[in-house]
Structure 1
Amino acid sequence: MIHLPDRAVLRLSGEDARSWLANLVTCDIAGLKPGGGRWGALLTPQGKILFDFLATTDEDGRLYLDTDRTRAGDFAKRLNFYRLRAKVAVEDLSEGWSVHAALPPGIAPEAGAIAFADPRHPGLGQRILLPEAGVVDEAAMAAYHARRISLGIPEGGKDFAFGDTFPHEALMDMLDGVDFKKGCYVGQEVVSRMQHRGTARTRIVPVTATSSLPATGAEIRIGDKPAGTLGSSAGSHGLALLRLDRVEEGADKGKVLATGEIGLAVVKPDWWRAGALDHKVSA
């Protein structure tokens, strides 16, 4: 079990909690059951990701949101802003709870834990929320993120900027972070229009390099034109936020995709849907 110290827990309870949250966020909360999970986000009215989270529920119907620790307090405040007269209690459990991952085949969680399958990819195993402090193991945490990166799964704050990224750019449309059949939610009109028109030109994609990759935020170019930025990486494997139209145009002209002097190749994950990445830089 791998403690993830950069994650925190919010808990929502009350008779209106499920229906109220469902009207705010991108994912299907109504169908959530104990042991199951959802990836979702609370968006700005303009359709950009303010907060993302992994959601689950317990046998008593309380909702648990596994979210970025540095933004958990602001997330709780924003949810309370929307609460109005709804019968909902929002608790920030950052100080008392810890978030863990258990890579496949997973483990039998201890008593008192809230465990659920990571909804983004089976290869990420389980998420386990514990009402106690966790112990940091840097090597285990690095192994977890290496697995996440190899699977092409982005994470907010590492691979995309909160407040400046559309769900399609963060692959939420492909990884079931958006339910396009559910009712309205904050920012829904913009997201639905992008889905209908297919206008997402910028996306996070896995890349491999000819050597170890530089720090997060490094510029990526195709020939002499800017093409995007590097997100998280593990050795020569990383995730990059790229303008795919520029990458394709440059590749058609024989230009090289690179960050600094390090050459890059785009890798299409096995879960990637047809259309994007069907260009000459795909590995």
Structure 2
Amino acid sequence: MSETLTFAPLNSRALIALSGPDWRDFLQGLITQDVETLAVSEARFGALLTPQGRLLYDLFVVGREDGAWLDVLAEHRAAIVQRLTMYRLRAKVQIETDETPVSILYSDRPGGSRDATGESAWAPAFAGEIGGWVADPRLPVLGWRGYGVEPPAGATIAEESARDAAKLELGVPGPADWGSDKTYPIEANFDLLNGIDFQKGCFVGQETTSRMKRRGQIKSRMLPIVFEGPAPAVGAEVLAGDLRAGVVTSAGEGRAIVLLRLDRAEGQSLTVDGRLVALERPAWLSDALGVEAA
């Protein structure tokens, strides 16, 4: 089967450049991801949390020769710069906006962009070079993130909305699902998407995050559902019989992401706006949770 590569500019994302001798120590104590071992041209997924452990901002940290990029939601960039500046104190770190464009490249080949051994099955030209492509650290099927790159020859050019639809098809939540200061990162599956390093030590919000993982206090998760017909409204209730089981966080025709109470979801008939819906577990989610795919 021939492979189709799709290139989409991510106009919703923007960059913050960190540099200076203290940038690693500075960032290490703030976010959910380890940066001490981050290599040049490697990306890691993580988040900046509130002190109470709720998700404030998601981010990708991309290693560079002279520091790192933070790949963040464009509408949050100014607020993130302000928060980082507040935490900087006497650390020798420069925090600057960077206008390098962000894009994504992904494949329609089943199994995504890695082969069965985990090795790269395809890679864009110049992958691994500065200002080029880096593998998406969440899931192989999500492909490559590009910084200051052009579409590869032969790639299909798509709008960002097509990328969002592809992620919805995979059941991967995004910023629209978790918002800001509303959700715990484990509820948004950051632990299943390589977004939390539980071995790295302290970071802002670490105590609550580690306690939830250690004690198994994970009552709700963002999971995909499928149904017939048009998308329900964001915020629509998911019912298990007469009991409220969750809420729709993002949706398209025939498919949605919901924040679902796990104790009310299993083995129950679920409805949204009176319509029967079915809980779906994509292969990546089944593997991560150690359960059989729906």
Judge same fold: TM > 0.5, yes or no.
yes
Q: Please report how far the alpha carbon of residue 116 of structure 1 lies from its aligned counterpart in structure 2 after TM superposition.
A: 1.0
Is 2:59 aligned against 1:53? yes
Match of 1:130 in 2: 148
Aligned to 1:217: 235
Alignment of 1:231-270 (within 5 A): 231-248=249-266, 251=268, 256-270=269-283
1:162 maps to 180
Counterpart of 1:21 in 2: which secondary structure? helix
8 A contact 1:112–1:131 mirrored in 2: no
Query: Structure 1: any 5+ residue segments left out of the alignment?
Result: none
Change (3 A) 1:129 1:141: same
Kept in 1: contact 2:22–2:92 (CA 8 A): yes
Aligned amino acid, residue 102 of structure 1? L
User: What SS is found at the alignment partner of 2:191?
Assistant: coil
Which segment drifts farther, 46-55 or 261-270? 261-270
Q: 2: distance between equivalents of 1:128 and 1:217? A: 33
Aligned AA (1:218): A
Q: How far off its partner does 1:67 sit?
A: 0.9
Q: State the shift of 1:226 in Å.
A: 1.8
One-letter code aligned to 1:272:
L
Change beyond 3 A, Cα 1:138–1:244: farther
Residue 79 of structure 2 corresponds to residue 77 of structure 1: no
User: 2: CA distance between counterparts of 1:215 and 1:37?
Assistant: 34
| One-letter identity of the residue aligned with 2:277 | L
The alpha-carbon deviation at position 233 of structure 1 amounts to: 2.8
Offset at 1:86? 0.3
Deviations 1:141-163 (A, max 9, x none): 2321122122222112x111210
Q: Percent identity?
A: 37
1:37 to 40, 43, 48: 43
* In 2: Cα distance, 1:131 partner to 1:123 partner: 20
- Classify the secondary structure of the residue corresponding to 2:285: coil
1:193-204 matches, within 5 Å, as: 193-204=211-222
Q: Report the Cα offset of residue 98 of structure 1.
A: 2.0
Q: Which amino acid aligns with 1:107?
A: P
Measure the CA separation in 2 of the matches of 1:34 and 1:81. Answer: 27
Distance 1:121 1:35, change over 3 A: same
Verify: 1:103 aligned to 2:114, yes or no.
Answer: no
Cα distance in 2, alignment partners of residues 215 and 62 from structure 1: 42
Matched to 1:31, the amino acid is: T
Structure 1 ranges of 4+ moved more than 4 A: 109-112, 273-279
**Counterpart-to-counterpart distance in 1, 2:149 and 2:193:** 28
Matching residue of 1:66: 71
TM-score, length-scaled by structure 2: 0.83
Q: Distance in 1 between matches of 2:48 and 2:144?
A: 23
Counterpart code for 2:202: C
2:47 maps to amino acid: A
Q: TM-score, normalised by structure 1?
A: 0.86
Gaps of 5+ in 2: 1-6, 108-121, 151-155
In structure 2, C-alpha distance between the alignment counterparts of 1:81 and 1:223, rounded to whole Å? 48
Give how far 1:2 is off.
0.6
State the 1:16 CA deviation. 0.4
RMSD: 2.5
Task: Give, in whole Å, the separation in 1 of the partners of 2:96 and 2:149.
Answer: 13
How far apart, CA to CA, are the structure 2 residues paired with 1:247 and 1:276? 15
- Describe the superposition over 1:176-203 as per-residue Cα deviations: whole angstroms up to 9, x where unpaired: 1110111111111111110110001111
8 Å Cα contact 2:16/2:70 also seen in 1: yes
Deviation, structure 1 residue 246? 2.2
Residue 124 of structure 1: CA displacement? 0.9
Q: Which amino acid in 2 is paired with 1:266?
A: L
Q: Secondary structure at the match of 1:103?
A: strand
CA positional deviation for 1:8:
1.1
Report the number of matched residues: 268
